[in-house]
């Protein structure tokens, strides 16, 4: 059974296409975006597909792109690169072209759902990513990859962060950034159990994730998964005294922190964890020099530095307010 994506689904007074992507073809970020939208635009009622970079840009973003705008110009360039690469690799076939207009044959534009493994992304999801993502081509490819790991029955999966890095590439920082943005866009929902295995390995229990629309099923499936594991609540142990000493040294102008942004960033992360730990286990006591024991460390001493969490807990949950689902 061959599926084309000329079929539309109605969501809140707008029409959106389902975009099928084969898992059997290895594509880069730009190729993935272009391949998905080509698949959506093609209808097997027609022998060929007539496209232009302007049309692809509109379908991908939901608006006409302005070449005078830096972000739009980058998107246009990415579309052209992805299209050229698909043509050179002979994944798609050009019958005729004139500048940025093309006539494509049906080659590569359909997915055989009976023979191929595939993932389905909705056009509005693509458009939301291109509206809000800082690296939309990369984030869309990551999103398609992650959605492709979700169990179709439970609507949830619990791949480790190391697993995500292995199949997608990049670093944990990159994976965290993309996950955080997809959560903020309300495209993914992540359930964080904050538990660790009590089998002697003390490994963190993996977070569970799924589409935001399936968040209730994600939670229920995650709880079932956790119920199959011998685990306990995480009780983070940090050396608060050592962190306090390093913090005091920084405040007193210790030379080792001069012109050493990596060391300062490491200290900031430690201080963030220190302050969080006070919420769960307050310190009782009097004064330690000029700093009162038990009070949070003043983070304003660190000028203009933003630190993103990169641990396996994947940060804190995203606030649910402020987004429509579609």
Greatest mean pLDDT range, 40-44, 205-209, 230-234 = 40-44
Contacts 24+ apart (CB under 8 A), 308-313: 308/173, 308/176, 308/177, 308/180, 309/176, 309/269, 309/272, 310/172, 310/173, 310/176, 312/160, 312/161, 312/204, 313/192, 313/194, 313/204, 313/207
Lowest mean pLDDT, pick from 18-22, 60-64, 167-171, 320-324? 320-324
pLDDT at residue 234 is higher than 90: no
CATH of 154-233, one of 1.10.1060, 2.40.50, 1.10.10, 1.20.120: 1.10.10
Give the single-character DSSP code of 187. S
pLDDT tens, position by position, 127-145 = 999 999 999 999 999 999 9
Three-state SS at 12? coil
Which helix (H) or strand (E) covers residue 2, if one does?
strand 2-3
| Cα(56)–Cα(83) distance, integer angstroms | 10
Q: Is the pLDDT of residue 272 over 70?
A: yes
Q: Is the pTM of this model over 0.85?
A: no
Q: How far is CA 284 from the centre of its chain?
A: 40
Inter-CA distances, 164 with 16, 104, 138, 148, 172, Å: 28, 34, 14, 12, 8
Q: What is the DSSP string of 117-151?
A: -EEEEEHHHHHHHHHH-SSHHHHHHHHHHHHTTS-
The yes-or-no verdict on residue 154 having pLDDT over 90 is: yes
Distance in angstroms (rounded) separating the CA atoms of residues 196 and 181: 26
User: Domain boundaries in the chain?
Assistant: 2-143, 154-233, 240-301
- 299 or 283, which is more confident? 299
């Amino acid at each position: 059974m061959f599926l084309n994506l000329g079929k539309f689904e109605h969501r809140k007074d707008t029409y959106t296409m389902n975009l099928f992507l084969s898992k059997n073809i290895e594509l880069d970020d730009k190729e993935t975006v272009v391949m998905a939208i080509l698949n959506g635009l093609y209808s097997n009622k027609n022998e060929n597909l007539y496209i232009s970079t302007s049309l692809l840009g509109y379908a991908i973003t939901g608006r006409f792109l302005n070449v005078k705008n830096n972000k739009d110009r980058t998107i246009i360039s990415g579309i052209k690169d992805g299209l050229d690469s698909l043509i050179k690799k002979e994944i798609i076939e050009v019958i005729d072209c004139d500048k940025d207009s093309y006539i494509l044959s049906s080659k590569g534009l359909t997915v055989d759902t009976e023979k191929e493994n595939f993932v389905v992304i909705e056009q509005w999801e693509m458009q939301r990513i291109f509206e809000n993502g800082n690296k939309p081509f990369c984030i869309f490819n990551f999103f398609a990859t992650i959605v492709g790991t979700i169990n179709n029955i439970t609507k949830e999966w619990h791949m480790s962060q190391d697993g995500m890095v292995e199949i997608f590439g990049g670093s944990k920082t990159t994976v965290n950034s993309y996950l955080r943005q997809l959560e903020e866009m309300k495209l993914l929902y992540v359930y964080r159990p904050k538990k660790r295995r009590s089998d002697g390995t003390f490994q963190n229990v993996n977070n569970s994730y799924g589409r935001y629309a399936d968040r209730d099923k994600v939670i229920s499936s995650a709880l079932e998964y956790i119920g199959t594991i011998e685990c306990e609540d995480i009780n983070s142990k940090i050396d608060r005294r050592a962190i306090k000493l390093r913090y005091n040294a920084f405040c007193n102008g210790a030379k080792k922190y001069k012109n050493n942004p990596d060391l300062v960033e490491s200290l900031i992360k430690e201080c963030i964890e220190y302050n969080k730990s006070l919420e769960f286990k307050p310190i009782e006591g009097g004064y330690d020099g000029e700093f009162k024991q038990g009070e949070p460390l003043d983070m304003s001493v660190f000028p203009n530095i933003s630190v993103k969490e990169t641990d396996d807990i994947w940060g804190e949950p995203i606030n649910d307010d402020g987004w429509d689902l579609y």
